[in-house]
């Protein structure tokens, strides 16, 4: 089934794809339909959180009176990763109660460390795909019908060895991911062209201010925190240094950088390209600053053993060392200003997945100026 949609990254026209989460939700909906209606389906439609409808081919269909299964083949678009072409299966089995129970099967990883969005000992199906899978069941069955949904990825265990899952403590397979349901191509040159173009457009609208965010989390949480909707927000992905250089070249006066601390802790350590494959130094930076601030050695060791900054934040709060977040935010802001030779005034906001952790000294004044415009 043709699902081609295109985005422009700079001058390049690139085809989008769809996530493992969309595959799991679509396979679930198709399997549920087969189970209810006792017939094969060739394609299935789902709505994604991005607002795009997908119409996906369904493969390897099986059903009987108690259960049904099928798979969707993942298409990563014009920027394929290692999951491109994998089969994502869903099996739907009737229950004798009214519960909808969603779990993982072969090739879906299991969480073994704290600090992720998913509790320990649960399968690595992230919150948005989990909601999409549940909604797929509810779209087919009447309220009160209970089913077990088992998501599996036959190639998942082998492919997971080539991802960060083992390091994150996700064992035995891949994660079922996706906040929008759509995979947008991320060609490096094309992304930089897009960042430069969006900053140029933003500068035409307002020559003084711009907000830089790594992605969706920073955008959503900054808007929630600040209430500002009259200033352009530009997604810079991992290219903080490049975005700063463009802001300086265009002549912006003041910028705010807002996002998850796992990304934005890195400029506090002098790192301006934030991809985890290149700069996985979050715990080292945290530990260094906490050590200087007097954290006990046993707690520093615990910080170094953390998988994510969200996990580390729990230890920091438990030990009363939350001031480190403000220290880091100010250092990140100072380093970013130094990176472009003091040509910009910069404020930094740190969030975790749901709330504000810290702001640097200049944030409030910049936000105040923006609101007064």
Closest-CA residue to 153 (of 172, 135, 170): 172
Q: Are 242 and 250 a contacting pair, CB within 8 Å?
A: no
Q: Which CA distances in Å does 247 have to 154, 207, 336, 367?
A: 46, 10, 11, 18
pLDDT at 201: 86
Q: For residues 5 and 310, which has the higher predicted lDDT (pLDDT)?
A: 310
User: Per-residue pLDDT tens for 45-76?
Assistant: 999 999 999 999 999 999 999 999 999 999 99
User: Per-residue pLDDT tens for 8-35?
Assistant: 766 678 889 999 999 999 999 999 999 9
Q: What is the CA radius of gyration of the chain?
A: 23
User: Per-residue pLDDT tens for 271-295?
Assistant: 999 988 788 899 999 999 999 999 9
pLDDT at 95: 97
pLDDT-based confidence at residue 217 (cuts at 50, 70, 90): confident
pLDDT at 167: 78
How far is Cα 125 from Cα 101, in angstroms, rounded to an integer?
13
Whole-number percent of the chain with pLDDT over 70: 97
| Other CB atoms within 10 Å distance of the CB of residue 8 | 12
Mean model confidence pLDDT for the chain: 93
H or E stretch including 270? Answer: none
User: Per-residue pLDDT tens for 127-164?
Assistant: 999 999 999 999 999 999 999 999 999 999 999 998 87
How far is Cα 193 from Cα 238, in angstroms, rounded to an integer?
14
Q: Name the one residue in this structure whose structure tokens are 């397979």.
A: 173
pLDDT-based confidence at residue 114 (cuts at 50, 70, 90): confident
The DSSP code for 85 is: T
128-132, 185-189, 325-329: least confidently modelled range: 185-189
Look at the pTM and tell me if it is higher than 0.85. Answer: no
The phi, psi pair for 125, rounded to 5°, reads -110, 110
pLDDT at 9: 64
How far is Cα 111 from Cα 166, in angstroms, rounded to an integer?
10
Q: Where are the alpha helices (DSSP H) in the chain?
A: 20-37, 127-140, 156-160, 165-168, 188-205, 216-226, 240-250, 261-264, 282-292, 297-304, 309-318, 323-339, 363-372
pLDDT at 81: 81
Domain boundaries, the chain: 6-183, 188-372
pLDDT at 14: 83
Residues 6+ apart with CB under 8 A from 112: 120, 121, 169, 170, 171
pLDDT at 10: 61
pLDDT-based confidence at residue 189 (cuts at 50, 70, 90): confident
Q: What's the token pair of residue 295?
A: 């954290």
To which CATH superfamily is domain 6-183 assigned? CbiD-like (3.30.2110.10)
pLDDT at 305: 93
Average pLDDT over residues 247-274: 97
pLDDT at 352 over 90: yes
Average pLDDT over residues 66-88: 93
């Amino acid at each position: 089934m043709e699902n081609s949609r295109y985005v422009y990254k700079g001058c390049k026209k690139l085809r989008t794809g769809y996530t493992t989460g969309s595959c799991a939700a679509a396979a679930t909906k198709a399997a549920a339909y087969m189970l209810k209606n006792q017939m094969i389906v060739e394609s299935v439609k789902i709505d994604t959180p991005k607002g795009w409808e997908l119409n996906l081919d369904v493969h390897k269909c099986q059903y009987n009176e108690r259960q049904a299964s099928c798979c969707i083949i993942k298409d990563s678009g014009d920027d394929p990763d290692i999951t491109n072409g994998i089969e994502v299966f869903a099996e739907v089995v009737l229950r004798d109660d009214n519960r909808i129970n969603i779990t993982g099967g072969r090739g879906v990883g299991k969480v073994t460390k704290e600090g992720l969005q998913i509790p320990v000992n649960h399968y690595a199906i992230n919150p948005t795909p989990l909601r999409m899978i549940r909604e797929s069941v509810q779209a087919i069955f009447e309220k009160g019908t209970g089913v077990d949904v088992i998501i599996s990825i036959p190639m998942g265990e082998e492919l997971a060895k080539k991802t960060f899952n083992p390091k994150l403590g996700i064992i035995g397979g891949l994660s079922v991911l996706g906040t929008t349901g759509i995979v947008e191509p991320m060609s490096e040159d094309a992304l930089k062209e897009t960042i430069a173009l969006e900053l140029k457009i933003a500068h035409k609208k307002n020559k003084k201010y711009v907000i830089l965010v790594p992605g969706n989390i920073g955008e959503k949480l900054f808007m929630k925190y600040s209430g500002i909707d009259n200033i352009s927000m530009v997604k810079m992905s991992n290219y903080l240094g490049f975005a700063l250089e463009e802001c300086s070249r265009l002549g912006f006066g003041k910028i705010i950088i807002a996002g998850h601390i796992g990304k934005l802790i890195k400029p506090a350590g002098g790192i301006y390209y934030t991809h985890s494959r290149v700069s996985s130094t979050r715990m080292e930076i945290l530990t260094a600053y906490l050590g200087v601030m007097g954290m006990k050695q046993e707690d520093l060791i615990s910080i170094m053993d953390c998988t994510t900054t969200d996990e580390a934040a729990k230890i920091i709060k438990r030990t009363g060392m939350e001031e480190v977040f403000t220290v880091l935010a100010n250092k990140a802001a100072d380093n970013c200003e130094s990176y472009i030779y003091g040509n910009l005034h910069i404020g930094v906001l740190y969030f975790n997945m749901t709330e504000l952790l810290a702001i640097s000294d200049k944030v409030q004044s910049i936000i105040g100026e923006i609101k007064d415009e």
